[in-house]
Chain A
Amino acid sequence: MIEHAFLVGFSKSFGLFYLIALSIAVVIYAMKPSNKKQFDEAAQSIFRDEAGPWR
């Protein structure tokens, strides 16, 4: 049987670690210079008028 106290302790501490780790990962992904070109292109991509689906 899993102890209530253990689960609560896990929740309280894990929340914090999870938050920090994910934040770092996301910021790295978003800010990585090598991704910049891809993002700029994506932002512009919706304007490209190709008048219809490619398939």
Chain B
Amino acid sequence: MSDPGALDAAAGERAAYIHIPFCHRRCPYCDFAVVDLGEQPTSFDRYITALEIEISMEPEWCPLKAVNLGGGTPSVLSPEQVGRVLRSLDDSFGLLPGAEVSIEANPEDWTEQHATELRRVGINRVSLGVQSFDPSVLASLGRVHDRATVVDAVRNAHRAGYDVVNLDLIFGTPVESMASWQDTVAAAIGLDPNHLSAYALTVELGTALSRAVRNGAPGPDEDDLADKYEHLVAAVGDRLAHYEVSNWAEPGRECRYNLTTWGQGEYLGFGLGAHGHRDGVRTRNVRRLDVYLRRIEEGVSPEAGREAMGEWERERERVYLGLRLRAGVETGEAGAALLASPAGQRLLAAGVVELHGDRLLVAQPLLTDAVAREVLALDPFD
């Protein structure tokens, strides 16, 4: 069981997100800001330089406790390029000792040499995009690696001395049978990761998957997703603590960057389409590479939009985000308002939410959004 206090504490820490948009091919389900290198060959160095400039443009802030390089596929960068980014973060804000420095990696990129060199420039956590161990599922997800690649990648991470090795899994691909998923889960557990993320295949607008589904291809099925999720929860059992809807970890190995985002903490976002949350304001960057580069090179902020929230909106947000954690969230004003509302009463009666001391939590994680919607609809004087 993860310690709720420790998890909440992460929210008070400062973090940074760096978006590396490059992929050798775009996965059919992905709607992240991605630059498909096959279609749009791009100079990584130019992008890294832009990141350095963007980081240097950011006003002074506190030292960072967590850094996350997400994508896209950050593992396509050279260790030298990753090093430049980390150095410029350190120069601008400082990296605290023991800071979590995480990278998303495609298994096929995760050679022993690459792992070792990245470890040397300061990366200490890796998130491997495994998704599945079933060749037919991997093929339908547009992935090019196989089971052996994943096994190697995990071994390479261990050999290189990573503190945390996370495996990303996707369940509910229409071609995935229950047996296939059971095998994927067993294989993942067999690799003994100290962190595991399992995501339900989500049909995002504007993706190839969404077009296919609209044209009649089967999409993920609610019952299938629920069955698979439940299987996973049972199979992981006590090996790892289930600390968030989609995340499991050895206690103390929870992803600090993600805890910051769920805990309504503040983080800086750099790069294409990156999101930040600073001084109570949420910002997002432009999603087009040419626009991003031009703005930076002209010394203009690449920000595409921002959102400042009122006090009550922030309180609601605190609760709906915090409810993603299995340990729940301090009840506070919005939690109390929820419990007082008819909808909240219904959720309580149905056993979807529970009150544990001063913490409100979702007892049926698969219904978290049903609760979140009610929280977001609360008025301050209800």
Q: Do A and B actually bind?
A: no
Residues of A within 8 A of B (CB): none
